[in-house]
A and B are shown apart, each in its own frame.
Chain A
Amino acid sequence: MLVTVPFKKTGENMAPPLLVMLILYLGLTNLVYAATNTSTIWSIDYRFSTNLHNGDLEFSRFSLASQTRFSLSRNWSAQLEARAEFANDDVGLGTINGYSSLSRPLVDKKHTRLEIDRAFIQWRKRAHSFTLGKQVTPWGVLDGVQITDRFDPVRRRDFIFTDVRPERIARWGARWRNKIGNFKLDTSFALDGTITQQAEPGTLFFTTSTRFTGGVDVTNTPVNISSQNRNNSLAQSTFGARVSHPLGEGDISFLLFRGPDTDPILSLTTLQAMNEQIAVELNYQRRTLYGATYDATIGETVLRGELAYIPDQPINIIGDTPLQSAVAQRLLAGFGIDWSAPEQWFVNAQLALDYIDSQEFDLLRPDTDTILTLRAQRLFINGRLLFKVELLGTINQRDGVLRPELVYEYSDKLKLRSGIDWLFGDENSQFGQFKDNSRLWFAATYTF
């Protein structure tokens, strides 16, 4: 791997984080005194994996997380979530140069990180609520397949191998939800330029597939990657609204939002001599998404559908010079079904289409990707043991991952988990690029 990330000076941006920390500290102190009811959940988690091909220990991460809910009055509540992580492995803790100053980890060392995951105060009265602080906006109805669910940045340091998919990154902002008759209106404004977290260069899940690197072969070319400064809060903000209404046996919603794309385009920072390391900048340009969702219960099945149209999708294209980009129309559609099957099996199947209009230029990716997800799970031993198997893949690329998993509830507090992530496909495809990282993993989580 010939990729480096330039050292980013953070000292000049220290004032805003310190101010946030001070406000948080004072706010927390006030909340503790004001709260009529406070509940805290602690969670200690250790997980590791060994490579299926060579048996090497490649992943080892220890996490300590807390979630505190403050019930301040009948109408006011607050929530504070934090996590500390320790890792000295080949996966790493992910990049943070895409974080705004306000959202940066409070502690950021080579192998240690302390982050505020959520910090918000909420007012509620009847069907109205207003939330102010660091929060997420989880729109969409499908399971892990992101059609309209693109408001929040997500973590990609573990590729898609997270407990919850996608693993959202909260941003500072405001959200207002209300209900008028049968209409539900949800408005969200993230005044925070933080974008999707990538795996650090050189780590196991750093993207090398040329469809994501602007066509640059980063495994064989010296590349120096930097990110846009993410401190221009207003220009890098995300705002949107969603309206929902019951329809038949289900609910339909229409949504619209504008903000930085979740995936970057790569561009050359300056003109460079042939023999120099290529200096590349990751740009997260803003785009607008118009979407619709529908989900309905029909007997022992739930049907879900999503549609999204992005008229100004920024993409890298194949051109005369490296790392050219353009703006194209993009259409995404997804359909899913949940089935409560016989013998207490639960089955989930989803099919998604991702189309980019390529009439005017050559794309680095296929113009249409067809993505399939299949999951079956069942509880055994009176709910103590969960068996789950999942297949995720891109049909047109013939790549994917098979993920069998066992979760055993040893006690009310201790949960043990183990599984296999077996990746397959071409080395330059979405899943196939990581096929050498197929792994057997274990996790133990103690919650109290």
Chain B
Amino acid sequence: MKHFFLYINISLLCLFSSVVQATEPATSLSPMEVAENIVNRSASKARVGYMHFIMRNESGSERKRSALLVHSQEPAKTKIGIYFTKPAGLQNTSFLSHDNSNSQDQNWLYLPATDRVRKLPASSRGDYFMGTDLSYGDIKDNFKFALEDWDFSLGEQQIENGKSFYFLQGTPKNEGIKQELGYASFTSKIDPDTWFPVNIKYTDVYHAPLKEITISKLEMIAETWIATHFSVFNSQLSHQTEIVLSDMQYLPNLPSNLLSADELAYGAPLMLLDEGE
């Protein structure tokens, strides 16, 4: 009997501890610490997989795009190669971006009809990416909020099924950044287990609701969380883009010259799919 009460006490203590643990993150971290945890989320050095876009308008008509996505993260450079595989009219069209922290960003486009790789002006971060509801900034930020762009605050915590979520809010640091991003504010529900947003709501530069990004599925690939299913709904245009990533693989040995402008003209490097882990 003595042991029975001891077990009860230990169980209650554990239960209490877990409740405290579940609710604890929302009260113990500052807004900047939450934002830093998101920014410092681990990222794989290189990965490859298919990216499928479905774009729906108000009347329900759909357009679909599929592309091979190759992503590489180096200390001061992020390289993204997008090689369209569908529809046929876009097949073999390729896009490459190099985001450099210490120098000028570079973009290139290969259109098979022109036989030439063409240097593109660096797009404004607020410009929409290839007819989707994602901006170039959304693509480059990879569900992170750059510390140099935003002032952060925390909203009231939310507990769902015993789990606590942060509500991170942000406003651009100045008018120039606001105009560049095309956003006046964001509110995001953050999962403290993964430091990934569950959703992000943006307002436009006039503070009117603009769009909501909802992340439906995360997958752990090479010890890194990757959003493999998410959607973006633009409430001003009643237009939605759904993005599904498939066959995502970690690439430990990405050839150094692969994500270079000269390589774009050779088409999608499909052989990488056989080399990933």
Contacts and interface: CB of A to CB of B under 8 A. Distances in A.
Interface residues of A, number: 53
B121 interface: yes
A56 interface: no
Scoring B63, B86, B103 by chain A CB atoms within 10 A of each residue's CB, the highest score goes to B63
Contact of B103 (A37, A249, A413): A249
B2 to A, nearest CB: 71
A298 B57 contact: no
A168 B104 contact: no
Contacts of A301: 121
A179 B113 contact: no
A384 interface: yes
A297 B92 CA distance: 24
A325 to B, nearest CB: 32
Nearest to A411: B63
Interface residues of B, number: 41
A42 B88 contact: yes
Interface string A310-351: 000000000000000000000000000011101010100000
Given A41-B91, A163-B113, A168-B115, A300 B124 contact: yes
A110 interface: no
B266 A124 contact: yes
Interface in A359-390: 379, 381-384
Interface in A175-197: 177, 179, 184
Contacts, number: 111
A74 B124 CA distance: 37
B277 interface: no
Contact of A297 (B64, B87, B104): B104
A71 B70 CA distance: 19
B120 A302 contact: yes
A412 B124 contact: no
B159 interface: no
A67 B266 CA distance: 14
Given A39-B91, A71-B270, 5 more contacts: A77-B267, A249-B104, A297-B104, A297-B119, A339-B121
21 contacts: A41-B91, A69-B267, A138-B114, A177-B262, A184-B262, A249-B104, A300-B123, A301-B121, A302-B119, A304-B119, A338-B119, A338-B120, A340-B120, A344-B127, A379-B128, A382-B237, A382-B239, A411-B63, A412-B63, A413-B89, A415-B89
Interface of A: 37, 39, 41-43, 67, 69, 71, 74, 77, 124, 126-127, 129, 136, 138, 141, 163-164, 168, 177, 179, 184, 249-250, 295-302, 304, 338-340, 342, 344, 346, 379, 381-384, 409, 411-413, 415, 445, 447-448
